[in-house]
Amino acid sequence: MFFSGMLAVHAGAAIAQSAAVSAAPTAANTPENIVRQTLHKLVPKAQVDQVTPSPLPGFYQVIASGHLVYVSNDGRYLINGDLIDAAKGVSLSDDAWAAYRKTELAKVPVSERIVFAPEHPKYTVTVFTDVTCPYCRVLHQQIDALNKEGIAVQYLAWPRAGVTGDDGKPTDTYKEMVSIWCAADRKDAFTEAKQGHVPKSVDCKNPVEDQFNLGLKLGVTGTPSVYAEDGTLIGGYLSPSDMLEAVKAHSGTGS
């Protein structure tokens, strides 16, 4: 984890000096840029995706490489952990993640997903999945029951072994998922793979790598990762009845 153990980090004299805020910051030395500089000094390879003012005075909220942290305006402190509104008893970090994920997931066209849906769905979940993970297979075995509950399931590819292995070559799981997304009938190929059948090798222009990278960006660490329509992570594997209760809670209607 990029920021593991850093509940409050002093960035050090060198960072404080290079990131000092003047009374009238220049365009290149704004608080937002100072925050970015701090992140890159601490974690040079971090992909900073979003920097926005935080509900916590004097801090910015940062989403970077699948993590949400808070960095002080002067670049001196970094807080890694949930920001709780004590008065309301809610996690502002969870709310921020949900809003971000909802926006990013909306950018993925339905044509690039594998969709199992009833004729008139009441709810929709997005599921990052791997063809080999046991609980992904159990979830898909219950796809008919999920659809009967009015839940549409939209799958995105997330090969757990990654896109390439240590040898720099495509992983077997990645190649299988490419073959599924390139199949003439994606749904049939997907279901066959969930039953343990290796799909016929096919290659084409496909979104598998992009979807894997999106998962990393959204903080996916395992499969299945199930997201409600509001962007909330509602769990890994859930039974149809538990899934229904979870999606109701995040549908905005409560029913």
* Residue at a domain's end among 68, 94, 120: 94
Same domain, 133 and 28: no
In this prediction, residue 25 carries a pLDDT of 46
In this prediction, residue 222 carries a pLDDT of 94
| CATH number of the domain within which 50 lies | 3.10.450.70
Taking the C-alpha atoms of residue 182 and residue 131, their distance in angstroms, rounded to an integer, is: 14
In this prediction, residue 253 carries a pLDDT of 52
Query: What is the domain range of residue 87?
Result: 9-94
State yes or no: pLDDT of 117 exceeds 80. yes
* pLDDT (mean) for 20-40: 70
Same domain, 126 and 83: no
> What's the total number of domains in the chain?
2
Same domain, 115 and 215: yes
Same domain, 190 and 126: yes
State yes or no: pLDDT of 115 exceeds 70. yes
* Residue at a domain's end among 69, 94, 119: 94
Q: What percent of the chain has pLDDT over 70?
A: 87
* Residue at a domain's end among 70, 94, 118: 94
Is pTM beyond 0.75? Reply is: yes
| Mean of the per-residue pLDDT values of the chain | 88
List, for residues 139-172, the tens digit of each pLDDT value. Answer: 999 999 999 999 999 999 999 999 999 999 999 9
In this prediction, residue 251 carries a pLDDT of 78
Same domain, 69 and 183: no
List, for residues 97-110, the tens digit of each pLDDT value. Answer: 999 999 999 999 99
* pLDDT (mean) for 237-241: 95
Residue 10 in contact with residue 71, Cβ under 8 Å? no
List, for residues 215-236, the tens digit of each pLDDT value. Answer: 999 999 999 999 999 999 999 9
List, for residues 120-134, the tens digit of each pLDDT value. Answer: 999 999 999 999 999
Residue 103 burial (CB < 10 Å; 0-12/13-18/19+)?
exposed
In this prediction, residue 12 carries a pLDDT of 33
Same domain, 116 and 81: no
* pLDDT (mean) for 75-81: 94
Same domain, 85 and 153: no
State yes or no: pLDDT of 15 exceeds 70. no
Tell whether 82 is covered by a domain: yes
| CATH number of the domain within which 240 lies | 3.40.30.10
